[in-house]
Structures are given as C-alpha cells and as structure tokens.
Amino acid sequence: TALIRVGIAGYGNLGRGVEAAIQQNSDMQLVAVFSRREPTSVTLLNAEVPVYAMAEVEQHQANIDVMILCGGSKTDLPEQGPYLAQFFNTVDSFDTHAKVNEYHAALDTPAKKTGHVALLSVGWDPGLFSLNRLFGEAILPQGETYTFWGKGLSQGHSDAVRRVAGVKKAVQYTLPNADAIARVRNGEQPVLSTREKHNRECYVVLSQGADAETVCNSIVTMPDYFADFDTVVNFIDETTFDKEHNNMPHGGFVIRSGVSGTSSKQTIEYSLKLDSNPEFTASVLVAYARAVHRLACAGEVGAKTVFDIAPGLLSPKSPAQLRKELL
Ligand code: NDP
C-alpha cells in the first residue's frame, strides 16, 4: 500500500519532533517542509527533504495527504489553521483553552467547503490527557478529576528567574506536590488549590561576585511567580547547567477518584514522564495524522478533536489484527 505523504507547516521544536517521529513510522513519508523563513536558512534533520516557502504551499496540494501544523498556538495557528484547511487535511496542537470553540469554527467552515478533515488540539494536554479525563468522568460519574503537571520546564518562570540581578543562567521546573498526589490516590478527594498541587524548583548559575543568599531571597519572594509556592533554589556551576538542563522535560498525571455502588473506591490514573515535550507531542501528532488520512479517505470532512477519533484509526495494524489483540 502507498505511503501516507506528510507535510510539515512551520519548523521549530515541534516541527523537528514531527520529522523525527515520521522516521519511526514505516507507513509514512515526509515529503516537504514549509516555512515563513527563507527556505535555505531552515536546516532539517534529513537534508534530502525539500523546504519550501509557505507562500507557495497551495501548489503542493496534490502531493500531500496530511499537513501537520507546527506553528505556535498564540498567533500562528489562528491564521495558518483556517488558511491551510482550504488546501489540505490538517492536524495541529492548538492549546489556547479559552479559544478552542472559536478556533474549531474557524477550521470547520473552510474544511467542509473544500472537503478536508481538520483535526485540532492534538498532543498530550490538550490531547491524551483530555481523553483520559473524559474516560474517568464518563466511567465514574461520581468523583473528582485531578490533573497534575510536571516535572516540567516552565518557560515563563525560567524567564522570571533570569531577570533577577546576579543570575547568569536559570531554569524553573514545576513539580507535582507528593502529598497532594498521595491524598488523591488514597481516595480522599481533597479540595486542592493550585498552590497546594505544585512546587517549584530552580537551577541557577550565579554571575561573577553575586551573593547566593540575596539571589535566593529575591526568587522565593517574587510576587505572582514564587511567593505563594514552596520553592527550592539550587545553585550549580555552568558546566553542569549546560549538560543537565538543556532538555524540555514535561509530563504529569490525570487521576479520576470515584465511588461506584454504595462505597467502593475506584481510582483511574494515567501518567506521562517525558524527556522531551516537543518530541512527544510530535509523536502524538504523527499517530493522529494516520487517523486523519483514513477518515479523509472514507469521505469525512470538517473540524474534529481527539474525542471524535476512534482509537483503532491511530494504529498501523489492520482492524482484524487489532481484534485478535483485544485480549
Ligand atoms: P517554536 O517557537 O519552536 O516554533 C513555532 C514557529 O516559530 C515555527 O513553526 C516556526 O515557523 C517559527 N520558528 C521556529 N524556529 C525559529 C527560528 N529560529 N527563527 C524564526 N522563527 C522560528 O514552538 P514549538 O515548536 O516549541 O511549539 C509550538 C506549539 O506547540 C506551542 O505554541 C504549543 O501551542 C504547542 N504545544 C502543544 C502541546 C500539547 O500537548 N497539545 C505540547 C507542547 C507544545 P516558520 O518555520 O514558519 O518560521
């Protein structure tokens, strides 16, 4: 059978991750990358794949089965999503919670008009975590859902620490609070504030002559960012920093704690521990690109989310093979 021909629109962290993930899926082929930058300035992992200007994307309609959109949610996708849905079946990782229905509508119109599938908000959160929250709530209607994030790199908080006088380099990780998780797993169904759910951990390289205690104090008392959290500040040397803190780890937990019958405690837990957030998100996008291709071949059109996609469509295995592996 023919390979699924995939394009990438926008080549940053996520775009690079998509390129790597396609290499691990033998039923797929990356045929082109599109960028708003000068194509010769964009260096791919595989130099044999062509890079084209986004402005000429329309000319490549006939050669691409699914376009994976790797632009940022804030300003890129609201523009690129509806535009590209006119020409291609698309998958993206739109994660602006407050605007998801607006974005769905903006994709649905062009996709239906031109006969394409546009799958939005794929990744881990939104994405796999959303599915797991839905399972928990549908299966255990009496209960509470908890999402904990981390250990994860927070870009905004890292920037805030870097602005403190005396800081040369810094990263900030958000960690789930171990006590809070233990109480949830125990079926206590506690009411937890954001502050009680997460701790903060900083790794800092001091500038020449800076005083560790002063820097630590400025960080842990910083309003909005750290003052309301339990924060640990670790001072390390630059070599260690460059070696151990150049990844983008993330992950977290979705836990549904419920009661069935009269008093049976039931707990569902799903967790992710990711060395690289963009590489993992990209891997999810690629599996869903397979589903989008199959739906499009079956004549489906319009905007969709992970809730609309049957799990079997994600797998390269045939329905008969999957049935054999049901149990
Ligand atoms: P990047 O900032 O790395 O890339 C975004 C865009 O910026 C690219 O598409 C690219 O467009 C442009 N760009 C990238 N590198 C450069 C550069 N050196 N100079 C100029 N422009 C550049 O963002 P990420 O790939 O890290 O993240 C993209 C989105 O993924 C996030 O906004 C977030 O919404 C989403 N995401 C979703 C998750 C989920 O679970 N659902 C998890 C993680 C991320 P172009 O090639 O056209 O210039």
Name which residue sits closest to atom 14 of ligand 1, judged by CA: 12
Q: How far, in Å, from the CA of 166 to the mean position of ligand 1? A: 30
The 10s digit of each residue's pLDDT in 211-267 is: 999 999 999 999 989 998 999 999 999 999 999 999 889 999 999 999 999 999 999
Distances (CA, A) of 184 to 16, 136, 176, 252, 320: 37, 14, 12, 14, 39
The 10s digit of each residue's pLDDT in 164-178 is: 999 999 999 999 999
The 10s digit of each residue's pLDDT in 15-32 is: 999 999 999 999 999 999
Kindly give, in sequence order, each residue whose CB lies less than 8 Å from that of residue 73, ignoring residues fewer than 6 positions away.
Answer: 93, 94, 95, 96
Q: What is the ipTM of this complex?
A: 0.97
The 10s digit of each residue's pLDDT in 55-83 is: 999 999 999 999 999 999 989 999 999 99
8 Å CB contact between 207 and 168: yes
Beta bridge partners of residue 207, listed in sequence order: none
Q: 251: Cβ below 6 Å to ligand 1?
A: no
Q: What's the CA gap between 150 and 148, in Å, rounded?
A: 7
Confidence (pTM): 0.93
Q: How far, in Å, from the CA of 142 to the mean position of ligand 1? A: 39
Q: 124: Cβ below 6 Å to ligand 1?
A: yes
Q: Quick one: what percent of the chain has pLDDT higher than 70?
A: 100
Q: 92: Cβ below 6 Å to ligand 1?
A: no
Q: What's the CA gap between 81 and 23, in Å, rounded?
A: 24
